[in-house]
Amino acid sequence: MDVFEFTKQVLAQTDKGMAILDEKGVIRYANLSFYLAAGMLPEQRTYESLTGLYKERNPGILGHLNNLLPGGAWRGSIDLDPAGNDGNRLDAVILRLESEAGRAVYLLSVDPRQRDGKASVYGTVDELTGLPKEEIFLDRVEQFIRFSRREKSFAIMFLIRIDRFNLITDGLGHANSDLILKAVAGRLRQIFRESDTIARVDRDTFGLLLKVAQESHASLVADKVLKNIIRPIPVNEQTVVVSASIGIVSCHGTMKPVERIVEAAEAAMHHASEQGGNMYHFFASDLNDKARKRIEMENNLRTAVEAEEFVLYYQPKVDIDSSRIVGAEALIRWQHPQQGMVPPFQFIPVAEETGLIIDIGRWVLKDACRQTITWQQQGLTPVPVAVNVSPRQFQYPGFYEDVSTALRQSGLDPHLLELEITESMLMSDVEQVIDKLRRLTGVGLNLAIDDFGTGYSNLSYLVRFPVSTLKIDRTFVKDLETDDSMAGLTHSIIAMSKNLNLKIVAEGAENEQHIQFLKDHGCDVVQGYYYSKPVPAEEFAQLLKTGKIKKGV
């Protein structure tokens, strides 16, 4: 590698705007930061256009260059603003060097962070964290690929995403989540060298690019990152613990475009996230297929929201003594035009992660209320309909308005709407949750705690929350016949709930033994395949006509 080529590689790694000029002041090389300092769009970035701008805005600069002796430096200010705005000058240093042929070569340096005091104007540095932005990161990845191919060094890319950051933002607010981002960025700065590249490449994601002696050292780096991120972060008057998912891919010897390398790292990062987070994963080709499927799922889901490709099924809640239908749970299904019925477990996690669950949940509320009114208009005896509320939907600031709008537009009596929330959703900020629940029950609707027993299981908390119903999770019910501990826990939950004047609904009842146990121990209402699977609205209307439901269907 010649000196000029080596110098280009070095300049490509710095945040400073750097350019190499020949003896006539013609720019022979400029790094990305220099182009961005000039405010030039990608399609405008040529050495010829940059030279024209530089000479036009600084007509006296050649005189300074000619007066420099070898090794000498000129310090002053230059104008790189293509709009010609006065006052937007940048401090600059020009150093005269000698080429191998004995000709003058000039190195021009500017700091793009000066203009208006804001790095973000140039798009090079993220204003919140002070880290380079994605464009700089991708440019350096490309430079690393070229350099590692020649030097046979190991360049490794890490994508580091904060786990469940959307939920953190929904729960703590944008100001506090920004503090978390700044803290994580600061920790990443502390543990890496200046020669390593750290950038903020997305809202909740950081990119790391570094050279290691061996590819196997990447796991040591990832462990170091995870241990530093998970340390408690002070946020105002509270302490927050966050974790991260890391995707790792080697850039060594690759001929792939930068975009393909990033996709590979993203696939590995998503895999780490799906495994629960707080871990790292190396890219493998099968992950790429999985990532493509996930992206396809997300795109299809966005289309489904816009086209309202969803439908609600209803599973009856049955009085255990009389076998009469006393309620229903609305359960969403996705009718994909090509793939058919897509089960919730395949798309709900994606909807939750992307935030689409807000729009989907809003649609469910409106359609469940509308359908209940339709049954009433058909002369059927109305029963309360329960709607599941996701954690992110519950934390959404506009959730109360969504509920109120669904009730108002449908004209449904609020007493016929029940919201099912999980017990874990009650424990994030107890006082705030209580206020939110009281506001909801203030309009007349009912609240149920779903999947009770799978989370905190703290019955003492229940007296503080304005809930009327407990739903025992199906994992308890399915093992009643074979697991004495499950049977004992179920009995205890029913007994203590009775003392708190709460209704009990048992999910997952599938046989006569389940029904008999629950009846013997005082359970009020049962829901499960013993009575009926979830059915379309038209079939549920037929069940409502009889009032009772045949056992063992």
Q: CB–CB of 392/355 below 8 Å?
A: yes
Q: In the sheet where 154-162 sits, what is the strand order?
A: 197-202, 205-212, 154-162, 244-250, 279-282
Q: How far apart are CA 184 and CA 243, in angstroms?
A: 10
pLDDT tens per residue across span 175-187: 899 999 999 999 9
Specify the residue for token string 């007509």: 59
The mean pLDDT value for 520-533 works out to 91
| 3-state DSSP assignment of residue 43 | helix
Window from 259-268, 383-392, 397-406 with minimum mean pLDDT: 259-268
pLDDT tens per residue across span 192-232: 876 678 999 999 999 998 877 666 678 888 989 999 999 99
Check residue 553 and give its pLDDT. Answer: 47
pLDDT band with cut points at 50, 70 and 90 for residue 118: very low
Q: Concatenate the DSSP letters of all residues of 203-247 into one string.
A: TTEEEEEEEESSGGGHHHHHHHHHHHHTS-EEETTEEE---EEEE
pLDDT tens per residue across span 122-149: 456 788 888 888 888 887 787 777 655 5
Q: Which domains does the chain have, with CATH numbers?
A: 3-121 (3.30.450.20), 134-283 (3.30.70.270), 311-546 (3.20.20.450)
Check residue 291 and give its pLDDT. Answer: 60
Half-sphere CA count of 425, side-chain side, radius 13 A:
24
Nearest CA among 4, 181, 192, 232 for reference residue 107? 4
Q: CB–CB of 241/232 below 8 Å?
A: yes
pLDDT tens per residue across span 439-477: 999 999 999 998 776 554 555 667 788 999 999 888 888
For 166, phi then psi, to 5°, come to -60, -40
Nearest CA among 27, 34, 33 for reference residue 52? 27
Handedness of CA 243, 245, 250, 256 (dihedral sign): negative
Separation of first and last alpha carbons in the chain: 78
| 3-state DSSP assignment of residue 86 | coil
Per DSSP (E only), the strands in 354-410 are 385-388
> What percent of the chain stands above pLDDT 70?
84
Task: Mark residue 152 as left, alpha or beta (left: phi above 0; alpha: psi -120 to 50; beta: remaining).
Answer: left
Residue 333 has pLDDT above 90, yes or no: yes
444: how many CB neighbours lie within 10 A of its CB? 12
Q: How far apart are CA 243 and CA 161, in angstroms?
A: 9
Handedness of CA 36, 42, 45, 50 (dihedral sign): negative
Window from 33-47, 343-357, 427-441, 456-470 with minimum mean pLDDT: 33-47
pLDDT band with cut points at 50, 70 and 90 for residue 3: low
Q: CB–CB of 473/454 below 8 Å?
A: yes
pLDDT band with cut points at 50, 70 and 90 for residue 116: very low
